[in-house]
Amino acid sequence: MPDAAPVTSATLLRMKQRGEKIVCVTSYDASFTRLLEAAGVDVVLVGDSLGMVIQGQESTLAVTVQDMVYHASCVARAGQRALRIVDMPFMSYASVAQALGNAARLMREGGAHMVKLEGGGAVAEAVRALAGHGIPVCAHLGLTPQSVHQLGGYRVQGRDSESATKLLEEARLLEAAGASLLVLECIPSDLARQVSANLHIPTIGIGAGPHCDGQVLVLYDLLGITPGKRPRFTHNFLEDADDIPQALRAFVDAVRAGEFPRPEHSFS
């Protein structure tokens, strides 16, 4: 079982070393954060996905730093045990100076324990600077939603040998730059297994198969209330539950037991 004390990056590292699965869910307010903590979630991610599931935007690109500060502060007021990661939104870390200033706001005003940014080599300098100033960083590779137009849509990444090799190299680079955690989104299961085995830091998967050190889902996907077509890598845990707290506990239990994700939630 995970430690009873507040979760830190050191906690997650110990969980990886012990082979214990890390459970992460997005949250954007105090009420759901209380339910997630009661369910035993290790990490609460205040994601810029709020642009789509709360604001009704077509992508995450319209989300601002102030949006993230507001929602992070709502989550922080209810947080007790779980590690709080807050997304740095689109173009909020284009330079080292921007990254430092905006990350400081997310921690000071938003109550973040760690910030998350997307990208590989292009953000390594920012990761290094943030870590060097005592700001824990979660990196994000694979499908990076802030680059959706450059990627040509929401598509699985790393399927050919060249892009898979590049992703592994970038994962190592980000770890060397000081990242404490790595999210892998929409990549083949075998590639996620390789990346997870080659890194000292934990990996958190979303559409990356069962071999990551942990799993994350968007809260609204987990509860089956996201409008439109549901992503393949999600599952509606509310379908077989009596209420939301039970659905959240079912997700936590399924991840801990290695029962989620199943093959149908993964890519080859």
Q: Distance between terminal CA atoms of the chain? A: 31
Q: Which residues lie below 8 Å from residue 229, measured CB to CB, with a gap of 6+?
A: none
Q: Is 185 a catalytic residue?
A: yes
Contact at 8 Å (CB) between 137 and 180?
yes
Q: One of 109, 118, 185, 259 is an active-site residue; which one?
A: 185
Sole residue written with tokens 């209380």: 34
Annotated active-site positions, please? 185
